[in-house]
Amino acid sequence: MKISAVKPVIVGDQRNFFFVVVETDEGLRGVGEGGITWREQAMGGFVEALRPSLLGQDPMRTEHLWQVMLRCGFFPASRIGAAAISAIDIALWDIKAQALGVPLYELLGGQVRDRVVCYPHVNGETTEELVADALQKVAEGWKFVRFNFSSDGDILDPRAAVRNGIAEFAAIREAVGPDIEMIVDVHTRLDPAEAIRFCRGIEPFDPFFVEDPVRSESPQALRKLNQQVSVPIGMGEQYATKWEFRQVVEEDLIDYARIDLCIVGGLTEALKVAHWCETHYIQVAPHNPLGPVSTAACLHLDLALSNFAVQECARPPGTVLPELFPQQVTLEKGHLLPPSGPGLGVVMDEQAIASLPPVAEGDCPRLTRPDGSFTNW
């Protein structure tokens, strides 16, 4: 069996989505997803550059092809490249599992749990709206709630945001009670000094973890934070390849690894990072704000990991791109269920592409400080 086609697919809907379809000369077709939104054209260009190195190759050689994709240009692939490689790698694993006639998780070590607990995104512009949506999610059967660190529209005043964020966390905890796990995503918006104040302020309300409390460029910021707070920290969604995880894992700077399968390098690389984390008693909570393929790939990884904690499920199966993916994985009362068919368990109908909304142009939302200076969204 040989690879006969490698095709990037970019579509619009609730957000832009980037997929890769890999076809073989025996009629098998795998699909993967790449995870850097607003950089879809760049990922597509990287896939086009890799195509000559993939055509005619054996799709079963996932590790070999991963090494080729990362290193064939002499300069190792960066984050955009790693996201493109992720999409191709997931598609190759899909083909491999289809060829062997088994669900993909069987190739990752086999099933270690019966279902995968997930958390949804809680949304609202005010504390009252956040509380109402959190209660709605609990009523639907979710065991976790997750919400964003607050800003005042497109203005982020760090000290005011910390005060508001602590008050919001306290209000949601009071509403949902002690048995619902709570996660807050700071989204890399704070410097260490403000992050320390925020983490200390919400500690009495028992967060499951605080996501991305500081920027990801410097592990030293995490070290400073860990020396002064005791709440669990989750980071890693912006890391591409095992090498970017190296210091935070080896120095125990995180409690939860937020591996993004669609950025880190696909299933091939995610497995290595996850097993490495196990030796440090770091649990895995995969990042997944994306579409049906990312959700399915995360599910298969989660089913096979002994050190899995919880799965982000921002867009429940069936709520996004149902025309393009008429077959998706199953969510039931806040849990993803194991697929029984071969491969990923998702099927793309390429004829539906023409009917989808156009790809949105532009960039991610932007925040500024009160003085007009740029800050992280």
Residues annotated as part of the active site? 187, 287
Structure tokens at 175: 């509403």
Give the strand pairing for 116-119 and 311-312. parallel
Of 192, 279, 270, residue with least CA distance to 233: 192
Of 132, 41, 28, 143, residue with least CA distance to 84: 41
Of 227, 230, 208, 213, residue with least CA distance to 285: 208
Count of CB atoms situated within 10 Å of the CB of 117: 19
DSSP 360: P
Q: Which residue has the tokens 């699909």?
A: 31
**Helical segments of the chain, H only:** 40-54, 62-71, 79-100, 127-139, 158-176, 192-202, 219-226, 241-250, 266-278, 292-304
Cα gap 106→40, rounded to integer Å: 31
Tell me the C-alpha to C-alpha distance, in Å, between residue 104 and each of 28, 297, 298, 330.
15, 8, 11, 15
Which letter, b or e, does each residue of 130-144 get, where b requires 16 or more Cβ atoms within 10 Å of its Cβ? Answer: bbebbbebbeeebbb
